[in-house]
Structure 1
Amino acid sequence: MTLIKPFAGLRPATGRAGDVAAPPYDVMNAAEARQMVEGRPWSFLHISRPEVDLPLGTDPYAPEVYAKARQNLERMIEAQVLIRDPSPSYYVYRLTMGDHRQTGLVGAASIAAYDRNRIKKHELTRPVKEDDRVRQIEALDAQTGPVFLVYRAHAEVDARLAHISGGVPDVDITAPNGVRHELWCITDAQDIDFLTQAFSALDALYVADGHHRSAAASRVAARRRQPSQSSSQDEGFLAVIFPHDQMQILDYNRVVRDLNGQDPAAFLERIRSSFNVAPSDEPLKPSAPAEYGMYLEGQWYQLTLDPQLIPRDDPVARLDVSLLQDHLIKPILGISDPRRDDRIDFVGGIRGLAGLAERVDSGEMAVAFSLYPTGMEDLMAVADAGEVMPPKSTWFEPKLADGLVSLVLDEH
Structure 2
Amino acid sequence: MAKIHPFKAVRPTRDKVSLVAARSYQSYTQDEREARLDYNPFSFLHIVNPGYKYHKEISGKERYGLVRNRYSEFKEDGIFIQDDSPSFYIYRVVNREQQVFTGIVAAASTEDYQNNIIKKHEDTIEYREQIFKEYLKTVGFNAEPVLLTYPDSDIIGNILQKYTTTRAEFEFTTTYRDTHYLWLVEDATDIKVIQDEFSQMPEIYIADGHHRSASSYLLSVDSKEENNVHTGKEAYNYFMSYLIPESELRIYEFNRLIKDLNGLSKEQFLLKLDQVYRIENRGRELYKPSKKHHFSMYLDGEFYSLYLRMTDYNFTDSLSKLDTHILYITILKPILGISDLRNDSRIDYGYDKHNVIEMKNRIDSGEFSVGFGLVPVNVDEMKHIADEGLTMPPKSTYIEPKLRSGVTIYEF
Q: TM-score, normalised by structure 2?
A: 0.93
Q: Which residue of 2 aligns with 1:326?
A: 329
Structure 2 unmatched ranges of 5 or more: none
State the distance in 2 between where 1:275 and 1:194 align: 52
Q: What whole-Å deviation, never above 9, does each CA across 1:218-242 have from its counterpart, x for those lacking one?
A: 1111111146888936521000011
Which amino acid letter does the alignment assign opposite residue 259 of structure 1?
Answer: L
| Residue pair 1:111, 1:233 contacting (<8 A) in 2 also | no
**Aligned pairs, number:** 407
Q: Which residue of 2 aligns with 1:282?
A: 285
Q: Which residue of 2 aligns with 1:214?
A: 213
Q: Which residue of 1 aligns with 2:385?
A: 382
Q: Which residue of 2 aligns with 1:159?
A: 158
Q: Which residue of 1 aligns with 2:356?
A: 353
Which amino acid letter does the alignment assign opposite residue 108 of structure 2?
Answer: A
State the distance in 1 between where 2:129 and 2:26 align: 13
Which amino acid letter does the alignment assign opposite residue 71 of structure 1?
Answer: N
Structure 1 segment 240-255 matched on structure 2, within 5 A: 240-255=242-257
1:23 partner SS:
coil
Change (3 A) 1:231 1:246: farther
Which amino acid letter does the alignment assign opposite residue 131 of structure 1?
Answer: Q
Which amino acid letter does the alignment assign opposite residue 325 of structure 1?
Answer: Y
Q: Which residue of 2 aligns with 1:294?
A: 297
In the TM superposition, residue 378 of structure 1 has moved relative to its aligned partner by 0.5
| Residue pair 1:24, 1:399 contacting (<8 A) in 2 also | no
| Residue pair 1:9, 1:88 contacting (<8 A) in 2 also | yes
Change (3 A) 1:269 1:233: farther
Q: Which residue of 2 aligns with 1:268?
A: 270
1:225 partner SS:
helix
Change (3 A) 1:3 1:250: same
Change (3 A) 1:222 1:198: same
State the distance in 1 between where 2:318 and 2:31 align: 39
State the distance in 2 between where 1:231 and 1:393 align: 39
Correspondence 1:20 to 2:20: yes
Correspondence 1:238 to 2:240: yes
Correspondence 1:40 to 2:40: yes
State the distance in 1 between where 2:30 and 2:355 align: 23
Correspondence 1:405 to 2:401: no
Identity across the alignment (%): 32
State the distance in 2 between where 1:33 and 1:221 align: 32
1:284 partner SS:
coil
In the TM superposition, residue 147 of structure 1 has moved relative to its aligned partner by 0.5
Correspondence 1:74 to 2:76: no
Q: TM-score, normalised by structure 1?
A: 0.93
2:38 partner SS:
coil
Structure 1 unmatched ranges of 5 or more: none
Q: Which residue of 2 aligns with 1:62?
A: 60
Q: CA RMSD in A?
A: 2.0
In the TM superposition, residue 32 of structure 1 has moved relative to its aligned partner by 4.8
State the distance in 1 between where 2:363 and 2:70 align: 41
State the distance in 2 between where 1:2 and 1:194 align: 13
In the TM superposition, residue 304 of structure 1 has moved relative to its aligned partner by 1.6
Q: Which residue of 2 aligns with 1:124?
A: 123
